[in-house]
Amino acid sequence: MTRIVVGPFNRVEGDLEVSLDLDDGRVGAAYVNSPLFRGFEQVLVGRPALDALAIVPRICGICSVAQSHAAALALADAMGLAPTPNGLLSRHLVTATENLADHLAHFYLFFMPDFTRPAYAGRPWHAGAVTRFTAMTGEAAAEVLAARTGFLRLMGLLAGRWPHSLALQPGGSTKAVSAAERVRLLSHLREFRSFLERRLFGDALQAVAGLASRDALLAWAGERDSDFAAFIRMALDLGLDRIGRADDAFLSYGAYGLFPAGSWQAGAGAELAPAAIAEDSRYAWLADGRPRHPAQGETIIAADKADAYTWCKAPRYGGQPFEVGALARQIVAGHPLLRDLVARDGGSVLARVVARLLELALVVPAMEAWVQALQPGEPYCMSGPVPDEASGVGLAEAARGSLGHWLSIRRGRIERYQIIAPTTWNFSPRDDGGMPGPLETALVGLPAGEAAPPTIQHVVRSFDPCMVCTVH
Amino acid sequence: MKIVWLQSGGCGGCTQSLLCHEPRPLFDEFRDAGIEFVWHPALSLDSGVDALALLDDCAEGRREFDALCVEGAMLRGPNGTGRFHLMAGSGRPLTEWVQRLASRAKWVFAIGSCTAYGGFSANTPGNPLEACGLQYDEQTPGGLLGARFRSGGGLPVVNIAGCPTHPGWVVDTLEKACLGDLQAEDLDEFGRPLLYAGGLVHHGCARNEYYEFKASAEKHSDLGCLMENLGCKGTQAHADCNLRPWNGNGSCLRGGFACIACTEPGFESPGHAFQETPKLAGIPIGLPTDMPKAWFVALAALSKSATPKRVRDNATVDQPVVLPAIRKKGGGK
């Protein structure tokens, strides 16, 4: 057995290193290291409660408003405040804009360039992949930047700017959309839909959203001229529909009032039970003890701890590792295509990528409806006092999955603030019982080492990790 | 201009912001301006040993590059070891990579306020991360590279501060350097390019009429000026956010929330709640830059007494309730 260290993994958000124990060219065990520590939970302690809204977006430049959203929910919970109807629609729109922009950027900028690697020069699709998906200079790169930039103009109208907005508040949004701005929002959405239908899918969004099985997906992809169809063909050729499986245990906090919260495991769903969440610090460079529910969580640096290997804690749900993300959201929500893919081959690389792109097809029409439902002239924001003593929970869905904030307030100031980010779930280290996290499981058995194909690159990026959130 | 880009104690948001460059997509703009990434952690193909070999070649002078762009605070802890960020696969502190590469670079750019001055990482109580900027500890020259550091081109670190930076600030600064036209006198005393930090966020603010009459917002989503009550520092913050809009036509003020002066060193710990204006005897403590207090008090009293009904009534609602009067030719009063 030999150990190799793989890193840096670029085209992920933040820095990532993976140690692999190899047995005859295959991964026997994997250890995921998040090699950077940020310390935001400490920054927040002692601040005025509403300062969280200015601080937490800076945890992450790619899930910035998701962090805002979770903080606004946690504060609203503590304050006993509910958003106005316009404020709620605005919140859906802002979080959906970020999530969909992330899905799009992940596919084109982070995931697809791996198909252009010289190792695949012998494949019949390689030349086409190089033309279209070469990092930064492929023909799709500039097209997708233009589409993404145009789409993020929604943020200019709804949240002032992106990333790092203070628009999302416990009682709604600071930005009241005017009648003229409502028209422009629809125009930007139309432009974005057009890009998706022309280049990404080569079909109407409704047709993609309606694909209901693996067979239907493959028949649809066929020889279709679109980036999604090209991905399906390449992924099948490389067997990415059969690798990358973790524990097939999925968790979602629910999004936009469109996708419900819950868990799904061994073919059965269950209601979300937030009390079942706990974090274990056994293999993190943090002081450990018994696993704690995040409302009682602690983050105390222990940089010299023997046998620790990451700055990431190990979150568990009912004591088990769970996978979060677009695939988990759609499995919990019961989308028939993804249920079928997982029933056949588990949560594969293919299934994760399909789930993200499917969300583009599902959510853009919902966004169009939310904009239509905005009522200019009706209030956007409720205000209320911050109690001297209170606690609150904010459970939201970022592009990469379930994001939770747990806070307590004492004398109007933050006494404790704990965050569990999506990639903390997916790239969790082992826990006290030695149980590996989802990526650590997903890598076992794969070819790795000098002569191996870039298989593990696909598996790691299929989770769309965000390391800067992980190590908040 | 060949760029090596590194990320450390930050959120990656400056890269995400940069990718929003308009009107031209960033990759087209850079290609035609002669700017290319030798390596960028979020964008390049090369991973693992290939990426490390490439960076090592640059650090040892075996491969040419022109500019080092760093995004994120420098984490020197614990105890000066840099172990809060060992660059993946290398086992070496990211701070060491930055020092090696900076010594070879013609220009060094700090992308964002974390990189320039230390950011939120440096604002953890007691700063256990030993975080700092490339050439500053907040307002104090020093940082990782030291106050005397000069890059190959003779400049100190160029601090493209902002949290995040505006894509235009980065692109314009890099392109100015490409033209051989970036000089020491183009930077302010905190190392920020004057091309965006030479004015105030207040300039061009769409709420200026409310400011003039001190017609203030009282709660979130109100249309009035955010300075008196809601913590806005636009009259003190150096940047052109309201002249050079964000994401199409946005800005913090247009989004209805306060400027928190994110281009200024130390903005992370203002000493008061971000969304509240600290006051003494009812007068905001943080007065507009260049404005003597007595004048401000006198002017505020005068303008409040002269506020038109339209401005006063609209300041505390989220859609205008009084529209500007229309004057008709000939018959107007």
Give Cα A217 to chain centroid, integer Å.
23
What 3-state class would DSSP assign to A315?
Answer: strand
> Do the Cβ atoms of A11 and B43 come within 8 Å?
yes
Asked if ipTM goes beyond 0.90, one says: yes
- Give the number of other Cβ atoms within 10 Å of residue A309's Cβ: 18
Closest chain B residue to A33 measured between Cα atoms? B88
Contacts of A158 in chain B (CB under 8 A): 255
How far apart (Å, rounded) are the C-alpha atoms in residues B157 and B151?
Answer: 7
How far apart (Å, rounded) are the C-alpha atoms in residues A338 and A390?
Answer: 40
Treating both helix axes as pointing N-terminal to C-terminal, what angle do A179-195 and A349-373 enclose, rounded to 10 degrees?
150
> Do the Cβ atoms of B75 and A37 come within 8 Å?
yes
How far apart (Å, rounded) are the C-alpha atoms in residues A87 and A169?
Answer: 9
Strand B158-160 with B107-111, pairing: parallel
> Do the Cβ atoms of A173 and B256 come within 8 Å?
yes
Contacts of B7 in chain A (CB under 8 A): 14-15
Q: Which residues contact A327 (CB under 8 A, 6 or more apart)?
A: A250, A338, A342, A347, A351, A352, A355
Q: Cα A109–A111–A112 angle (5° rounding)?
A: 80
* Residue of A4, A145, A168 for testing the chain B interface, max B β-carbons within 10 Å: A145
Dihedral angle over CA of B107, B113, B115, B116, nearest 10: 60
Report the pLDDT value the prediction gives residue B331, as an integer from 0 to 100. Answer: 59
Residue that is written with structure tokens 């500007």 in the block: B324
Contacts of A156 in chain B (CB under 8 A): 245-250, 254
B144-185 pLDDT, tens digit per residue, is: 999 999 999 999 999 999 999 999 999 999 999 999 999 999
- Give the number of other Cβ atoms within 10 Å of residue A222's Cβ: 9
Of B48, B119, B163, Cβ closest to residue A6 = B48
Of A161, A163, A379, Cβ closest to residue B251 = A161
How far apart (Å, rounded) are the C-alpha atoms in residues A396 and A385?
Answer: 23
Sign of CA pseudo-dihedral A212, A214, A219, A221:
positive
| Exposed e or buried b per residue across B194-223, where buried means at least 16 C-beta atoms within 10 angstroms of its C-beta | ebbbebbbbebbebebbbebbbbbebbbbb
| Half-sphere exposure in the Cβ direction for A353 (13 Å, CA) | 30
Question: If you compute the radius of gyration of chain A from its CA atoms, what whole number of angstroms results?
Answer: 22
Closest chain A residue to B274 measured between Cα atoms? A51
DSSP character string of B267-282: TT--SS-TTS--EETT
Q: Cα B263–B269–B274 angle (5° rounding)?
A: 80
> Do the Cβ atoms of B13 and A164 come within 8 Å?
yes
Please choose, from the candidates B221, B213, B235, the residue with its C-alpha nearest in 3D space to the C-alpha of residue B299.
Answer: B213
| Cβ under 8 Å to A: B residues 207-226 | 219-221, 223
How far apart (Å, rounded) are the C-alpha atoms in residues B104 and B151?
Answer: 8
| Cβ under 8 Å to B: A residues 300-359 | 301, 303
Contacts of A468 in chain B (CB under 8 A): 10-12
Domain B199-321: which topology? Cytochrome-c3 Hydrogenase; Chain A, domain 2 (4.10.480)
| Exposed e or buried b per residue across A170-184, where buried means at least 16 C-beta atoms within 10 angstroms of its C-beta | bbbbbbbbbeebbeb
B228-267 pLDDT, tens digit per residue, is: 999 999 999 999 999 999 999 999 999 999 999 999 999 9
Report the pLDDT value the prediction gives residue A471, as an integer from 0 to 100. Answer: 78
Q: Determine what percent of chain B falls in helix, strand and coil, rounding each to the nearest 5.
A: 25, 15, 60
The residues facing A31 across adjacent strands are A19
- Residues forming CATH 4.10.480.10 domain(s) in chain B: 199-321
Measured in residues, chain A has a length of: 472
Treating both helix axes as pointing N-terminal to C-terminal, what angle do A336-345 and A349-373 enclose, rounded to 10 degrees?
170
* Residue of A58, A189, A195 for testing the chain B interface, max B β-carbons within 10 Å: A58
- Residues forming CATH 3.40.50.700 domain(s) in chain B: 2-197
Give Cα A220 to chain centroid, integer Å.
27
B41 touches chain A (CB under 8 A): yes
Contacts of B223 in chain A (CB under 8 A): 176
| Half-sphere exposure in the Cβ direction for B155 (13 Å, CA) | 27
Tell me what percent of the residues of chain B surpass a pLDDT of 90. Answer: 92
A119 touches chain B (CB under 8 A): no
How far apart (Å, rounded) are the C-alpha atoms in residues B235 and B220?
Answer: 19
How far apart (Å, rounded) are the C-alpha atoms in residues B255 and A181?
Answer: 12
How far apart (Å, rounded) are the C-alpha atoms in residues B30 and B14?
Answer: 16
B51-105 pLDDT, tens digit per residue, is: 999 999 999 999 999 999 999 999 999 999 999 999 999 999 999 999 999 999 9
How many helices (H) and strands (E) would you count in chain B?
Answer: 10, 11
Residue pairs between chains A and B whose CB atoms are closer than 8 Å: 274
Report the pLDDT value the prediction gives residue A190, as an integer from 0 to 100. Answer: 98
Do B121 and B46 contact (CB within 8 A), yes or no? no
CA distance A56 to chain B (A): 10
How far apart (Å, rounded) are the C-alpha atoms in residues A226 and A224?
Answer: 6
Give every strand in the sheet of B2-7, ordered side by side: B36-39, B2-7, B67-71, B107-111, B158-160
> Do the Cβ atoms of A160 and B253 come within 8 Å?
yes
C-alpha distances out from residue A224 to A130, A143, A218, A358, A421, Å: 18, 19, 10, 17, 37
Do A250 and A327 contact (CB within 8 A), yes or no? yes
> Do the Cβ atoms of B249 and A156 come within 8 Å?
yes
A55 touches chain B (CB under 8 A): yes
Please determine, for residue B332, whether its predicted confidence score (pLDDT) is greater than 60: no
How far apart (Å, rounded) are the C-alpha atoms in residues B301 and B251?
Answer: 29
Closest chain B residue to A147 measured between Cα atoms? B25
Contacts of A33 in chain B (CB under 8 A): 88
- Give the predicted TM-score (pTM) of the model: 0.97
Q: Which band of pLDDT confidence, cut at 50, 70 and 90, is reported for residue B286?
A: confident
Give all domains of chain A, ordered by start, each with its CATH number: 2-470 (1.10.645.10)
Per-residue pLDDT of chain A (472 residues), as tens digits, is: 899 999 898 898 888 999 999 999 999 999 999 988 898 999 999 999 999 999 999 999 999 999 999 999 999 999 999 999 999 999 999 999 999 999 999 999 999 999 999 999 999 999 999 999 999 999 999 999 999 999 999 999 999 999 999 999 999 999 999 999 999 999 999 999 999 999 999 999 999 999 999 999 999 999 999 999 999 999 999 999 999 999 999 999 999 999 999 999 999 999 999 999 999 999 999 998 789 999 999 999 999 999 999 999 999 999 999 999 999 999 999 999 999 999 999 999 999 999 999 999 999 999 999 999 999 889 999 999 999 999 999 999 999 999 999 999 999 999 999 999 999 999 999 999 999 999 999 999 999 998 899 999 999 999 999 888 887 8
> Span B2-197: which CATH code?
3.40.50.700
* Residue of A166, A183, A312 for testing the chain B interface, max B β-carbons within 10 Å: A166
Do A287 and A302 contact (CB within 8 A), yes or no? yes
Report the pLDDT value the prediction gives residue A9, as an integer from 0 to 100. Answer: 87
> Do the Cβ atoms of B220 and A155 come within 8 Å?
no
Dihedral angle over CA of A44, A385, B275, B266, nearest 10: -30
What 3-state class would DSSP assign to A320?
Answer: strand
How far apart (Å, rounded) are the C-alpha atoms in residues A391 and B287?
Answer: 35
Of B89, B164, B258, Cβ closest to residue A8 = B89
Do A15 and B88 contact (CB within 8 A), yes or no? yes
CA distance A457 to chain B (A): 9
Phi first, then psi, for residue A174 (nearest 5°) are: -75, -15
Contacts of A17 in chain B (CB under 8 A): 88-89
Residue type, A438: P
A8 touches chain B (CB under 8 A): yes
The residues facing A6 across adjacent strands are A18
Phi first, then psi, for residue A249 (nearest 5°) are: -120, 120
Q: Cα A452–A454–A457 angle (5° rounding)?
A: 135
